[in-house]
Amino acid sequence: MALPVNLALATAQRATGLRRDPFAGYNFLFETAGMVVGGFTTISGLTSKVEVHTVREGGVNDREYKLTGPVTHGDLVFEAGLTAVDPMWLWFQATLDGKVQRRNASVYLLDARGVPVTWWNIQNAWPVEWQGPSFDASQTLFASQRFTLTHEGIARPPMALAVAAATLLP
């Protein structure tokens, strides 16, 4: 029986002294409508969950069956400094005006050189909440804002997986 690929890779890394660290989570971009949007300090909420339904068979008390239910996706939350040019606000304003603009989007994770190492595609996203800055004269913090986007699904395309896997090559 052949070694699993990840075990073979780990063994080769130990033997050669090469080390592949996990991707850093501080260098990322958000793109929608063909445009990179904002300089966000955080993006959170990249979550999907499959609901589990438990079924018991009549008279059988020592076993239960687990079945898949609907999939739910968490809302994405973006935090950014307040700037003069704000495409996220314009997108949110359209929602406030009753003109919901559902857009496909992508969140890109970048390496130290700014090259994408993987990404997630977001389907039919649109803004549902905005939180403005808090003002406090005793602080020296930047004015920041938060946007929440809802969406209809997250996918990590095969090309993103291939690019991530390619980072393992010497």
Condensed to tens digits (0 to 9), the pLDDT of residues 2-15 reads 556 566 666 666 66
pLDDT for residue 112: 85
Of 11-20, 44-53, 85-94, 130-139, the one with minimum mean pLDDT is 11-20
| For residues 42-62, average pLDDT | 91
pLDDT at residue 17 in the model: 60
Mean of the pLDDT values across residues 84-99?
91
Question: Contact 72/94 with Cβ under 8 angstroms?
Answer: no
Q: Which residues of 27-65 are buried (b: 16+ CB within 10 A; e: fewer)?
A: bbbbbbeeeebbebeebebeeeeeeeeeeeeeeeeeeee
Report residue 60 as tokens. 């059988």
pLDDT digits (tens, 9 = 90+) for 96-146: 999 999 999 999 998 888 888 889 999 999 999 999 888 888 888 888 899
Q: Give CATH for domain 20-166.
A: 2.30.110
